[in-house]
Structure 1
Amino acid sequence: MSMIVNAVFTTKVEPAYDDLPEVRYHFPKTYLNQVEAALDNWIVYYEPRRSTADLSSSGGRSAYFAVARVQSITQDAFQADHFYAHMVDYLEFSRPVPFNEGGHYYEAALRKADGSTNKGAFRRAVRNLRPHEFEAIFAAGFARIIGRDPLERSEPDRVPNSQPNFLLAADNPAPAFEHELPAVPARRIETKLVSRPFRDRAFASAVMTAYGDRCALTGLQIIDQGGRSEAEAAHVRSVAQDGPDSIRNGIAVSRTVHWMFDAGLLSIADDYTILIAKRIVPDILQDLPPLRAKLTVPARADLRPHPSYLRFHRENIFEG
């Protein structure tokens, strides 16, 4: 039996802090207790409505979009009273999960007794979760992978004095700091989240959705009668080389182009220009669908390949 304390970490498209969700989460001392409570456990990333620190900004999804595990916490050496949570096992949902879906709040503490949103609780960038709340967000985010209705509700953990799932009102909110929860056994969710087959399916689903089932290098979109795409998801920095299962570390490519990319015959510049290895003879390219001059990328900037992963591929894989 072990204590399970999950959490929500809020990060913007253009964060005011030094966040790179796949690797690190930067936060002020205000939230240290909540982050420490989630150490060695799984958290959910949430993207708010505001996409930047500017109070007038918008464009955020107001949705949970990924999970990760807090591996360690260190103090920021350069900014007083700030810390880093170092993250591992990052994995994006196959569908972003709205915080309020069909009138249902996945975090009970965000719902007032009258059914309105508890804005005071919402303003907290780090919030601890009850285990059944984390499980419900997990099930909704990976519904396509586990073959489940996104709005299907799981039963709450049967712990002493537990209340019916998702009915905790503002007059009896989930505690901001969850150490007082009774110990509950580790869930089978963790087995899925570290399983390579599950992660491969989730990664492929998220990447192919972001790229519209279209090869980013050729622009071709070929779908068979069963709805399967000829294109497939490729890691820019491979898992074997410690690359994360992140959309920003992925592109959709046709199968032949995938092989060429992994073999270092193709790569991508920071401005998304497609690079071709000098040792490729022109005749080979004539037998392929024409490569575009630049990669076709998602409209949202935060879903495009991250420069650090592109640089790794150019410096370690590309034979140009």
Structure 2
Amino acid sequence: MTFGVFIHRSDSIYEDSPAERYQFPSQYLARVEACIGDWIIYYEPRKARESRGYFAIAKIQHVIPDPGTSGMYIAIVEPGSYLDFVNPVPFREVGGLIERGLLNEHGKISGRAQSAVRPISPADFNRITELGFAENTPLLPRIDARSALPGMQEGQAVFQYEQERSRVEYLTSRIVRDRIFRSVVLSAYDARCAVTSLKLINGRGRAEVDAAHIRPVEANGPDIVSNGLALSGTAHWMFDRGLISIAEDHEILISRHVNDTAGVRTLINKTGRILAPVRTVDQPHPHFLRWHRENCFKA
């Protein structure tokens, strides 16, 4: 087993859904199979529009031949493992490349940088995940020497291989993942309720809005920003109970089971549609919206 980097573009020609599956040609089969049971980092190249650099981690569960396309395969992502970085990590920093394994013996970028799937060293994996999950926001948990897992105490310079595995396993904690999910969703929505358009900040500077999963975690909904909505308490309650939902064009739908339709309409912003994130890749994915309409919405 080994860590890996998988290149994914939001405008990809492949049938990818990074939180669920990754489609790839047969030439990368051996490299992907080496990652089965282990963690990979998603990277969006600089040429892509609105490139996010290194933007998420996931765990590869298994690989299957693509039933619809000859010569193609699908890497299945372990449910519940995908997690967006709080801070997308650029390809370069002031000191040079982030992924230093891409440098050849002459200190130049090697041809490996063009590979859609490539192995990554533990040191590079550590460096990228450290930056991606840097705890520089009050929305994330503060880890100190008393609560840290082995290998996670403050002051440790670089995580070792097995210690990094402990750190990544720590990120599978539901409490931690909920905090990270809240951070990335609220950032995408500017801490503003998608339904009401209100942006309320309490006296401690905390946004009075929730990060709601469109497809719930209990129904294998992933912790990806496109499966999230920033919702005020009342809107969140109605959404979870199927009293409101969202059409593919982002129109806010009201259930016929609502006993005060006029009152609910006063809560909805004037456009009648959700206030979606600016970046297309952060907007609710039609796949998840359809799931909510078909499984939760009381039409």
TM-score, normalised by the number of residues in structure 1: 0.81
Deviation at 1:189, TM superposition (A): 1.9
Give the letter aligned to residue 128 of structure 1.
P
- CA 1:273 to 1:283, structure 2 compared with 1: closer, same or farther past 3 Å? closer
Task: Tell me the residue number matched to 1:65.
Answer: 55
Give the letter aligned to residue 157 of structure 1.
Q
**1:8 paired residue among 5, 9, 15:** 5
Paired residues of 1:274 and 1:292 also in contact (CA < 8 A):
no
CA–CA distance in structure 2, aligned partners of residues 198 and 129 of structure 1: 25
Deviation at 1:129, TM superposition (A): 1.2
- Greater shift in the superposed pair: 236-245 or 126-135: 126-135
Deviation at 1:235, TM superposition (A): 0.4
Deviation at 1:218, TM superposition (A): 1.1
Give the letter aligned to residue 143 of structure 1.
A
Give the letter aligned to residue 127 of structure 1.
R
Deviation at 1:15, TM superposition (A): 0.8
Task: Tell me the residue number matched to 2:35.
Answer: 38
Q: Report whether the alignment pairs 1:83 with 2:73.
A: yes
Give the letter aligned to residue 214 of structure 2.
V
Task: Tell me the residue number matched to 2:158.
Answer: 155
CA–CA distance in structure 1, aligned partners of residues 217 and 32 of structure 2: 27
CA–CA distance in structure 1, aligned partners of residues 21 and 129 of structure 2: 21
- CA 1:139 to 1:288, structure 2 compared with 1: closer, same or farther past 3 Å? same
Cα deviations by residue, 1:263-318 (Å, 9 ceiling, x for unpaired) = 11110000000001122223532774656411111121111111111011111111
**1:188 paired residue among 138, 158, 166:** 166
CA–CA distance in structure 2, aligned partners of residues 251 and 101 of structure 1: 31
Deviation at 1:187, TM superposition (A): 2.2
Give the letter aligned to residue 274 of structure 2.
L
Task: Tell me the residue number matched to 1:162.
Answer: none
Cα deviations by residue, 1:47-102 (Å, 9 ceiling, x for unpaired) = 11233xxxxxx4323x1111110000011233332211000211111111112122
Q: When the two structures are aligned, how many residues end up with a matched partner? A: 281
Task: Tell me the residue number matched to 1:242.
Answer: 220
CA–CA distance in structure 1, aligned partners of residues 291 and 83 of structure 2: 20
TM-score, normalised by the number of residues in structure 2: 0.87
Q: Report whether the alignment pairs 1:126 with 2:117.
A: yes
Paired residues of 2:20 and 2:77 also in contact (CA < 8 A):
yes
Task: Tell me the residue number matched to 2:147.
Answer: none
CA–CA distance in structure 2, aligned partners of residues 153 and 25 of structure 1: 34
Give structure 1 stretches of 5+ with no counterpart: 52-57, 159-183
Q: Report whether the alignment pairs 1:105 with 2:97.
A: yes
Q: Report whether the alignment pairs 1:23 with 2:15.
A: no
Deviation at 1:221, TM superposition (A): 0.7
Cα deviations by residue, 1:10-69 (Å, 9 ceiling, x for unpaired) = 010111211110111111122112111111001000011233xxxxxx4323x1111110
Q: Report whether the alignment pairs 1:210 with 2:188.
A: yes
- CA 1:36 to 1:146, structure 2 compared with 1: closer, same or farther past 3 Å? farther
CA–CA distance in structure 2, aligned partners of residues 200 and 121 of structure 1: 35
Give structure 2 stretches of 5+ with no counterpart: 144-154
1:151-300 correspondence runs (5 A): 154-155=157-158, 157=160, 184=162, 187-280=165-258, 281-282=260-261, 284-285=263-264, 288=267, 290=269, 292-300=271-279
Task: Tell me the residue number matched to 1:319.
Answer: 298
CA–CA distance in structure 2, aligned partners of residues 207 and 6 of structure 1: 27
Q: Kindly, what percent of the aligned residue pairs are identical?
A: 40
CA–CA distance in structure 1, aligned partners of residues 83 and 96 of structure 2: 24
Paired residues of 1:12 and 1:47 also in contact (CA < 8 A):
yes
CA–CA distance in structure 1, aligned partners of residues 45 and 90 of structure 2: 10
SS state of the match for residue 32, structure 1?
A: helix
Cα deviations by residue, 1:212-242 (Å, 9 ceiling, x for unpaired) = 1011111111112322101110000101111
Deviation at 1:139, TM superposition (A): 1.6
